[in-house]
A and B are shown apart, each in its own frame.
Chain A
Amino acid sequence: MRDILQGNKAAIFWAIIRVMIGWQWLVSGWHKIGNFNASGFISDSIKSGGQTNYLILQWYEAFLENFVLNNIEVFNILIPWGELLVGLGLILGMFSTAALLAGAFMNLNFMLAGATDINPILYTIEIILLFMRPVTYRYGFDYYITPKLKEMFSKK
């Protein structure tokens, strides 16, 4: 089964999936750049924490309140640009492992903060793509870059 899923034909399928979710990230990052402020969303998340059989877990609420809200300027830049770069990396298939890890990490945090919508699906697809490596980027820049990077590092 693994042979079929990681064959060259399946690679076309994974490339399409990769570009599709990359597009989701790119668009959502692009719309946030320059006009994004997470503090409203985070304050709402913290508020919903106490009520409704704790939608947000206490440990995550404490993290939002004590760390994220106090450093909100960092997150207001990190999230839009992180999303845009993850999208770009996935569409190009360039540094796709890093892009998938970063994307999945963002999805996990958005879910912990109480946002569901498309996050569970993206999170699941990203984990699947991580496991399909290296077929994930068979049709992407990584296919050409990764061997060269490996060579460079092994020379040293």
Chain B
Amino acid sequence: MLKTLRNDKWAILWAVVRLYVGYQWLTAGWGKITREGGFDASGFLKGAIGKAGGDHPSVSGWYASFLEGFALPNAGLFNILIPWGEFLAGLGLILGLFTTYALIGAAFMNLNFMLAGTTSTNPQLYTLAIILLVMGSASYRYGLDYYVMPKLRSKLKKDSMSA
């Protein structure tokens, strides 16, 4: 079944899915990069930490302590990482360039946003990213990776042989 899903015809669907997911990330990242006064995650982080208490917490205790002990003190770093990470993941997915890395980065961000108590489009983007990862090379059959990846592989092979 997977073999069929990875053929050239199905790859058209995966390209459409890739473009949709990529566009979502690109606009989300761009919106944060161009935000007046810059993007500041600390308000969101504090809100997420507050959601860890009560009878039905939406944030697990261990994740709240990660946010409190690591993410919040380093909010300056995350304020740059998140907008640019989102933007680059989106660009990679739209172009189909370094698709696998873009998908892993995107899925990792979705997972963390969900752990921090945000749902919105995260569950569906996370699921679509995982499906695209499973489709492997079919996800970039119609993307730049289709041309770039074979060249990278042969170059890496040559380098390791000459070393």
Contact = CB atoms under 8 A, between A and B. Distances in A.
Which of B57, B114, B116 has the most chain A CB within a 10 Å cutoff?
B114
A56 B127 CA distance: 16
Interface in A96-148: 108, 111-121, 123-124, 127
A115 B122 CA distance: 12
Interface size class of B (residues with CB under 8 A): 20 to 34
A117 B60 contact: yes
Contacts of A116: 58-59, 114-119
A124 B58 contact: no
B9 to A, nearest CB: 24
Decide if the interface of chain B is mainly helix, strand, loop or mixed: loop
A20 interface: no
Contacts of A57: 120-121, 124
B123 A108 contact: yes
B60 A118 contact: yes
Interface in A70-120: 108, 111-120
A53 interface: yes
Interface in B41-77: 56-60
A117 B123 contact: no
Which of A108, A113, A118, A120 has the most chain B CB within a 10 Å cutoff?
A120
Given A108-B127, A116-B114, A124-B111, A56 B119 contact: yes
Contacts of A123: 123, 126
B111 A120 contact: yes
Q: Which 10 A-B pairs have the closest CB atoms?
A: A120-B114, A111-B123, A116-B58, A116-B117, A114-B119, A112-B123, A116-B114, A120-B115, A111-B119, A117-B58
Interface of A: 53-57, 108, 111-121, 123-124, 127
7 contacts: A55-B119, A57-B121, A111-B114, A115-B56, A116-B115, A116-B118, A120-B114
